[in-house]
Structure 1
Amino acid sequence: MTEAAHPSRDHGPSLLTPGVLVPFIIVTVIWGSTWLVIRDQVSAVPASWSVAYRFLLASVAMAILARARGLSLWIGGRGIAFAACLGASQFMLNFNFVYRAEMVLTSGVVAVFYALLLIPNSLLAWLTFRQPVSRNFIIGSVIAVTGVVLLFLREYRYADVAPGAVLEGIALCFCGLMAASVSNVMQGAPIARRLPIISVLAWAMLLGGLMDSALAWIVAGPPVFDTRLGYIAGIAYLAVAGSVVTFPLYFRLIQQIGAGRAAYTGVLTPVIAMLLSTLFEGYRWSTLAVVGALLSVAGMVIAMRAKPSR
């Protein structure tokens, strides 16, 4: 990986350049579909074991990808320690909270909440690296978040679960959101910019998967596996498409355009997730949901057109 500019100087390319827009679209479309698959993953297998299977398999696939590209898997002691922290925040804490949230909320609701990732990402990036944001980015973010709030209000009013379960799901989403944001902002650290991201992710997924396994054994007992073809295919899809394909692209986006702007993948993601939820979970669109979705997309377009502050 070539050395990038210092994280405090956000001189990254426009979000509309092909080198940024194409991976942005790939990540958004794939992650928009993963929420629905996760819903099935927690139907018969304890959440922590499903998370463990996903990232243990993903670590093997990521290691194969690294070697296929001629990258060394040895990243040194400090690199492995960094990967362990990344694995704990992203692939253990974040996903355990996400999977548990989907046990009480629909996939669309959880995806909507995660669209707010741009807020802690931007705040933590500013606090840690003083990464600036432009006025248009702030305006676009306010519009998009307003849309997300409308989507969430619709879900809160009409969700077919008890209000207490909704609040429990919100709390789980919030904890996962903060864990994900920490791992996102870690990509601005100098060590993350020096090491090959695919090799780092191979270690992070392996170590995170082992942590998931330890947690699963503690909270759910010995391994449980669902032999249904749908479950096995879901594990493979989440591991390969939802992890090996997307995380290198996403973390590279963070290093190119900053954690706040990269998190805009999460604004369009819930719209895709809700479209799929309409087809497979019986989600019903209301005027509030339509307005919220339109505002989310409009705000994202405004923010994407904003040039980085100097």
Structure 2
Amino acid sequence: MSEHPPHALLRPAIALPFLLVALIWGSTWFVITTQIDGVPAQWSVTWRFVAATPAMFALALFMRNPLAMPRRAHWLAVLLGLFQFCGNYNFVYLSELHLTSGIVALLIGMMIVPNAILGRFMLGQRITLRFTIGSAIALVGIALLLINEAHVSPLGGDVGLGVVLALVAMVAASIANVIQAGEVGKSVPLVTLLAWSMLYGTIIDGSVAWALAGPPVIPREPLYWAGIAWLALVGSVVTFPIYYDLVRKLGAGRAAYNGILVVVIAMFISTLFEGFQWTPLAIAGGALAMLGMLVALRARNV
């Protein structure tokens, strides 16, 4: 059983990384919309991690982390590559073909639930009554934001398919969150594990892209590659080591509440660039989501 001190998020060493990750990931939802306009989603995901992987290995070397890992850690890296850097991102990109970026962010924000459940069964992390109550409050807030978005910005495409794709992406990310925090993951430097995971994920991404979308598609637009640079270097290389470290320090359930802040930030960015309207329903949803997050984060163990 993992013990996590109460009010851990109030410590600057955790609060600042928590906010940094939320700010960066909150921006990525809008940037992803520039990656799927005329380019197969599978190839956009591949190019993202083609760029991110060398940078992650360079970060490992800069931090003087050994690149060698035992065989069992490589098997874990393969699983992380499959679930996080292939499954999660491919399904997210595909879902944004059918849903607005705000809707997808809201659905991924529900990762608090599978993270806590998987953390309980795989890592022995308790789910307390306070955490359950906080999660319920936050999910009501997410639902209100979802209803508001659907009402203000009517959805196009295959909505049902988009929701299913986003939920599959959420579960894939949750599995990756939890398995990296186990004994095998903690036995090797985190950045080294992520570098190898990205490498294996990139290989899987390229194979999936070629099988489903045909030969490589290489866009020429500078804006596209600027987006790739932001998503790869800032949205992946900078944030994943920080976030996975938070999972290990806070527990899978509470760390997933970063997704609630990401949702709120994503909606503010949508306000600026996509004309999102903060109706009374949206304000109430955002307030409930934040309240639920605070209630759950005050739980002693989650």
Task: Please name the residue that 2:232 is paired with.
Answer: 239
TM-superposed CA distance for 1:72, in Å, is 1.2
Asked if residue 250 in structure 1 is aligned to residue 228 in structure 2, the reply is no
> Is 185-194 or 11-20 further displaced after alignment?
11-20
Asked if residue 175 in structure 1 is aligned to residue 181 in structure 2, the reply is no
Is 1:126–1:132's contact at 8 Å kept on the other side of the alignment? yes
Gaps of 5+ in 2: none
Listed one character per residue, the Cα deviations across residues 35-90 of structure 1 (whole Å, up to 9, x for unaligned) are: 00001111121101110111121110000000011111111222111101100000
Task: Please name the residue that 1:4 is paired with.
Answer: none
Specify the code of the residue in structure 2 equivalent to 1:180.
Answer: A
Specify the code of the residue in structure 1 equivalent to 2:242.
Answer: L
Task: Please name the residue that 1:144 is paired with.
Answer: 138
TM-score scaled by structure 2? 0.96
Residue of 219, 223, 226 corresponding to 2:212: 219
SS at match of 1:199: helix
TM-superposed CA distance for 1:188, in Å, is 2.6
Task: Please name the residue that 1:5 is paired with.
Answer: none
Q: Determine the C-alpha separation between the residues in 2 that align with 1:194 and 1:219.
A: 36
Is 2:76–2:180's contact at 8 Å kept on the other side of the alignment? no
Q: Determine the C-alpha separation between the residues in 2 that align with 1:131 and 1:19.
A: 22
Listed one character per residue, the Cα deviations across residues 80-138 of structure 1 (whole Å, up to 9, x for unaligned) are: 11101100000000100000111111111111111100000001111222211333222
Asked if residue 96 in structure 1 is aligned to residue 81 in structure 2, the reply is no
Task: Please name the residue that 1:303 is paired with.
Answer: 296
TM-superposed CA distance for 1:12, in Å, is 4.7
Is 2:36–2:97's contact at 8 Å kept on the other side of the alignment? yes
Asked if residue 264 in structure 1 is aligned to residue 257 in structure 2, the reply is yes
Asked if residue 63 in structure 1 is aligned to residue 57 in structure 2, the reply is yes
From the superposition, tell whether residues 11 and 274 of structure 1 become closer, same or farther in structure 2 (CA, over 3 Å): closer
Specify the code of the residue in structure 2 equivalent to 1:190.
Answer: E
Task: Please name the residue that 2:35 is paired with.
Answer: 41
Q: Determine the C-alpha separation between the residues in 2 that align with 1:142 and 1:97.
A: 25
Q: Determine the C-alpha separation between the residues in 2 that align with 1:246 and 1:81.
A: 23
RMSD: 1.4
Task: Please name the residue that 2:120 is paired with.
Answer: 126
Q: Determine the C-alpha separation between the residues in 1 that align with 2:70 and 2:185.
A: 13
Residue of 193, 200, 206 corresponding to 2:199: 206
SS at match of 1:253: helix
Q: Determine the C-alpha separation between the residues in 2 that align with 1:161 and 1:66.
A: 42
Q: Determine the C-alpha separation between the residues in 2 that align with 1:55 and 1:92.
A: 9
Is 1:51–1:212's contact at 8 Å kept on the other side of the alignment? yes
Listed one character per residue, the Cα deviations across residues 2-45 of structure 1 (whole Å, up to 9, x for unaligned) are: xxxxxx22235612111211111111110000000001111121
Specify the code of the residue in structure 2 equivalent to 1:229.
Answer: P
> Aligned pairs, how many?
301
Percent identity among equivalent residues? Answer: 44
Task: Please name the residue that 1:135 is paired with.
Answer: 129
Asked if residue 50 in structure 1 is aligned to residue 39 in structure 2, the reply is no
Task: Please name the residue that 2:19 is paired with.
Answer: 25
Specify the code of the residue in structure 2 equivalent to 1:73.
Answer: L
SS at match of 1:63: helix
> Is 283-292 or 92-101 further displaced after alignment?
283-292
Is 2:77–2:194's contact at 8 Å kept on the other side of the alignment? yes
SS at match of 1:40: coil
> Is 246-255 or 122-131 further displaced after alignment?
122-131
Is 1:121–1:185's contact at 8 Å kept on the other side of the alignment? yes
Q: How does 1:109-124 map to 2 (within 5 A)?
A: 109-124=103-118
TM-superposed CA distance for 1:284, in Å, is 2.0
Task: Please name the residue that 1:292 is paired with.
Answer: 285
